[in-house]
Amino acid sequence: MDMNAYLSMFIDESNDHLQALNENLLRLESEPEDLSIVQSIFRSAHTLKGMSATMGYEDLASLTHEMENVLDLVRNSKLKMDEFIFDTLFKGLDALESMVQDIVGGGTGKADVTAIVASLQSIVKGDYKTAVASTAASSAPSASVQQTGGILDEFQTSVIQQSIDSGHNVYYIEVEIREDCVLKGVRAYMVFDLLGKNGDIVKSEPSVTDLEQEKFDRSFSVFTISTLSQQELEAQIAAISEIEKVTVALLDLESLAMLNNAAAKEQAPAAAPAQAEPQSEAAKEEAGKQVSAARTQAAASSAPAAVSRTIRVDIDRLDALMNLFSELLIDRVRLEQLSSEIRRNDLTETVEHMTRVSSDLQNIVLKLRMVPVDSVFNRFPRMIRDLAKSLDKKIDLVITGADTELDRTVIDEIGDPLVHLLRNSVDHGIETTQERIAAGKPETGTINLRAYHSGNHVFIEVEEDGRGINREKVLKTAIKNGVVTEDQAKQLSDEDINMLIFAPGFSTADKISDISGRGVGLDVVRSKITSLGGNVTVDSALGRGTKFAVQLPLTLSIISAMLIKLGSEKYAIPLTSIVETGIIQKDQILNVHGNRMIHFRNAVIPLVSLSKVLDSPDFNEQSESETEIVVIRKGDKWAAITVDEFIGQSEIVLKSLGKYLTNIEAISGATILGDGQVALIIDPNALIK
């Protein structure tokens, strides 16, 4: 069967399940007693196992299977969750994620998971508390055959079974190496070499890679199919130097059956309830609401119907729809122009109606591309948990407004900056537990991650109740790193000083940590957010905490812009960075150190000649006695740019200049005007130095 057709579906669904697993595990960690969470974790793991087995990803399936075994015990109250189990399950999840990522990247999804599998198995066996290493110490082969029962998977068992059926010798070998041996890995390798020459190795414990890296105590065990007799094998292995003891046990169908029984005991409870589970769960939920027990079946079938109300659509198709709509928008503007020229009533009415319909359509098309920020936020709880653990801090992440929607293009870009901000909050913001207690704060720090709509923007805030920004320290570092001079420093307001932490090459961390503090973080955050047409501000009270607020445009594909003329050329300036427009007289222009400045609302701001920046061929404001200006803003810096004439405000569709023309100074893209001509979009950020 051709699996490629199902691959994308598999990847999508695996990601969904992994996400669900992650979220539920985190929830479970905070409420370990809630068995209903375990149920849903179990269901996700079970579905994932089934899917990966069907698709032929054995490693994925076997790891999920082991996790499922652990969860099953927890679910049946045979096992209490503790930190070790959580950590192992999280490690397992990470491994699953990387395998799925490998599959996404065209790989085979294979990975060495023996270490995690071993810890999971030790949890199932209940002996993980008494250290995993001692398992191999036992010398009696028959006893250890039973003990290793869970280690052979179905595939390996069937290989052994077939070998025995066809008359081959199958051995279980335990080798112990002398205590004073220096190169244990080499000795192990020699044993494997010998076994490999005379037959096949089915399974080794620990795994071959672990053995080669000497990640074992003194003994290891091997299942092998060999042509040699029991005595020969024993003698040859014992002949390898520095081998303390070797035990070779011949396996027959009976001892294998014993193995199988041991394994089956573990699997049976896992498989049976898993099938019964979804229905009984649905039944339980419905029982409370509905009186009639006979409707249970109907209820169970109504649940999937509700799910299928959404469909997955290829992003490319949505992009194509958006492009087509953009063209329609251009034609609409053209039609409006024509109808106003022709002045025929019925034409004007029709065009007006079309305008209304197309603006509704525009709303829908834009909404289609909207994705809840949850798709970015959902990985943060896990990240914060791990960070907090590694820093030995106690931190609660409170997320609000995860259903706030943003354009997909923005969503794709906003992840990294937010990760930076959150890491910064965990590392620099929240104090250590001791410091918090000393400062009389609750032991556990809180990070609030909020998202909300406001006007044409979405705000995302990261607020913590940590130590706050130490402005003196910031100033000192800024002066030391040459970000500002001492003279400048005296004039800075508190807000200005806060913003200094976004300056390139700035870091107040006393020591560089893995998490943040290399001074590359925050300026990258700011430039990324600015490139998305947004901005970031910071608000802080020393000792009480810091709040970062990120403002983002709702969409990147259609923006409001001011169209201006420069001689024969037309340009668009994004409305978001325009403060206001005005007219100035030539004699209002001041000359300061050769720079042209103007007075504007009690401040002196630089005057930038757009015609000079853009090498305009047929316009120069020098010849005019009165010049139109547009005041633009970048952060808290302002500037006035001179233009020839205002055309008006318009919704424009952003177009890229293509791959041939990249990094053009002061130009961020292009748009197509109502008359079919291309107008370039000015990047106001490039005009303010």
Binding site for other proteins (CB under 8 A): 323, 326-327, 330, 569, 613-615, 617, 655-662, 664-667, 670, 672, 676-680
HSE of 50, CA atoms in CB hemisphere, 13 A = 12
CB 428 within 8 A of CB 526: no
In the numeric block, the tokens 């052994």 are attached to 160
Residue 568 CB, shortest distance to other proteins, in Å, is 9
Question: Which among 137, 100, 114, 121 has a CA at the least distance from the CA of 19?
Answer: 100
Which residue lies nearer to other proteins by CB, 587 or 665? 665
In the complex, the smallest distance separating the C-beta of residue 655 from other proteins, rounded to whole angstroms, is 5
- Cα dihedral value 666, 365, 369, 307, nearest 10: 180
- Please, where are the H alpha helices in 31-131? 35-55, 58-75, 83-104, 114-125
Distance between CA 551 and CA 460 in Å, rounded?
A: 7
Cα 621 from Cα 566, distance rounded (Å): 9
Residue closer to other proteins (CB basis): 552 or 679: 679
Break the chain down into helix, strand, coil percent, rounded to 5: 50, 20, 25
- Of 46, 65, 420, 428, the active-site residue reads 46
Among 23, 65, 66, 68, the one annotated catalytic: 68
Q: How far is the CB of 369 from other proteins (least distance, A)?
A: 18
How far, in Å, CA of 494 to CA of 489, rounded? 10
As measured in angstroms, the least distance from the Cβ of 330 to other proteins is 7
From the list 135, 118, 113, the residue with the least C-alpha distance to 217 is: 135
Task: Give the C-alpha separation, 65 to 259, whole Å.
Answer: 18
Min CB(687)–other proteins separation in Å: 13
**541: β partners:** 545
Nearer to other proteins, 137 or 678 (CB): 678
**Angle between the N-to-C axes of helices 114-125 and 83-104, in degrees from 0 to 180, rounded to the nearest 10:** 150
3-class SS at 603?
Answer: strand
Beta strands in 113-241 (DSSP E): 169-177, 199-205, 219-226
Active site residue 378: no
The identity of residue 574, as a single letter, is P
Let me know if 23 is a catalytic residue. Answer: no
Q: How far is the CB of 589 from other proteins (least distance, A)?
A: 23
Q: Is 119 left (phi over 0), alpha (psi -120 to 50) or beta?
A: alpha
Choose the catalytic residue: 169, 260, 424, 685.
424
Is the Cβ of residue 542 or residue 678 nearer to other proteins in the bound state?
Answer: 678
Q: Shortest gap between Cβ of 676 and other proteins (angstroms)? A: 6
In the chain, DSSP finds a helix count (H) and a strand count (E) of: 24, 22
Beta strands 545-553 and 219-226: pairing type? unpaired
Q: Is 68 a catalytic residue?
A: yes
Comparing CB distances to other proteins, the nearer of 572 and 605 is 572
- What is the phi/psi pair of residue 313, to 5°? -120, 135
Joined together, the tokens standing for residue 477 give: 């570092």
Annotate 540-570 with DSSP letters as a single string.
EETTTEEEEEEEEES-SSEEEEEEEEETTEE
Name which of 484 and 572 has its Cβ closer to other proteins.
572
Residue 685: CB minimum distance to other proteins, A: 16
- Which residue lies nearer to other proteins by CB, 99 or 652? 652
Using alpha carbons, list the distances in angstroms from residue 527 to 18, 313, 414, 492, 503: 32, 32, 12, 22, 10
Q: Are strands 405-407 and 395-400 parallel, antiparallel or unpaired?
A: unpaired
Q: Which of 687, 645, 640 is nearest to 666 (CA)?
A: 687
CB-nearer residue toward other proteins: 41 or 670: 670
Taking the complex as a whole, the smallest distance from the CB of residue 660 to other proteins amounts, in Å, to: 5
Q: Which is nearer to other proteins, 136 or 654 (CB)?
A: 654
Cis preceding linkage at 381, omega within 30: no
Q: How far is the CB of 187 from other proteins (least distance, A)?
A: 55
Q: Which residues are catalytic?
A: 46, 68, 424
